[in-house]
Structure 1
Amino acid sequence: MNINLDVDVTEKENETTLHLKGEIDAYTAPLLKEKLLPLTAKQDHHIIVDLAEVSYMDSTGLGVFISALKSTKEHDAQLKLVNLQERVHRLFKITSLDTIITIETTVRGGN
């Protein structure tokens, strides 16, 4: 089993940024979930997930972000995804998750 995801967490007062590097799939999603979900349970917390260096994501990754979104709504927290590469952004568009998850409009690696 090759786990190919690095999660670098930067915390400020009321904001946490997760810089992800690698791939989000069935093998790496549990690590992402372990790092991300506790942050979403903090009242009035802002979570930014930087996906600039995520080259691949499958439906398992989408599931983690859906769980995170539900948790943020329960705890009045905010989740924002930034710096998505085109192929990852396309997943959110195809599934219409881009209409319920805040995604910074800057898309990297476009045609």
Structure 2
Amino acid sequence: MTILELETRQREGLVQVVLRGELDLSTVEKVEQELRRLEGQGEKLLVLDLAELSFLDSTGLRLMVTADQRARQEGRRLAIVKGPASVHRVFTITKLDEQLDMVDDVTELTVPELRDLS
């Protein structure tokens, strides 16, 4: 049985979903449900943090592509914190690293709405 731990953190101006373990066919539904729940709350910036992910298959990639498409269509942003080399390699091979909003660390992210208020 594949193990995936999911932790949702509220941070200033964003919601970070930290994934630990393996994201594959047997665990993708858990992440999909959490993303849909957060989208339903109207969060403008969702962050999928893959820094502690040990494995990613094509169903995990599809999840991120479709979540990114929904975010763009609804005027939101989905950012993805890069995972370890073995996980990031999947994005590089498929060239999704060029299409998705990928960052090295969550601290790189800013929320324009908050910046404009200062």
Q: Is the structural similarity TM-score above 0.5?
A: yes
Identical-residue share of aligned pairs (%): 29
CA-to-partner distance for each residue in 1:51-83, whole Å, 9 max, x for gaps? 111000000100110110011011111111114
Counterpart in the other structure of 1:109: none
What amino acid is aligned across from residue 56 of structure 1 in structure 2?
Answer: F
Q: Is the 8 A contact 2:24 2:59 kept in 1?
A: yes
1:1-111 mapped onto 2 (5 Å cutoff): 2-12=1-11, 14-40=13-39, 43=42, 45-105=44-104
Q: Is the 8 A contact 1:41 1:75 kept in 2?
A: no
Q: Which amino acid aligns with 1:66?
A: V
Higher fraction of helix: 2
2:65 partner amino acid: I
**CA 23–44 in structure 1, closer or farther in 2 if over 3 Å, else same:** closer
Deviation at 1:38, TM superposition (A): 3.3
Alignment RMSD = 1.8
Shift of the alpha carbon at 1:13?
A: 5.6
Structure 2 portions without partners, runs of 5+: 106-118
Runs (5+) with no aligned partner, structure 1 = 107-111
- Decide which moves more: 24-33 or 38-47: 38-47
Kept in 1, the 8 Å contact 2:15–2:43? The answer is no
With structure 1 as the length reference, what TM-score do the two structures score? 0.84
Greater radius of gyration (CA): 2
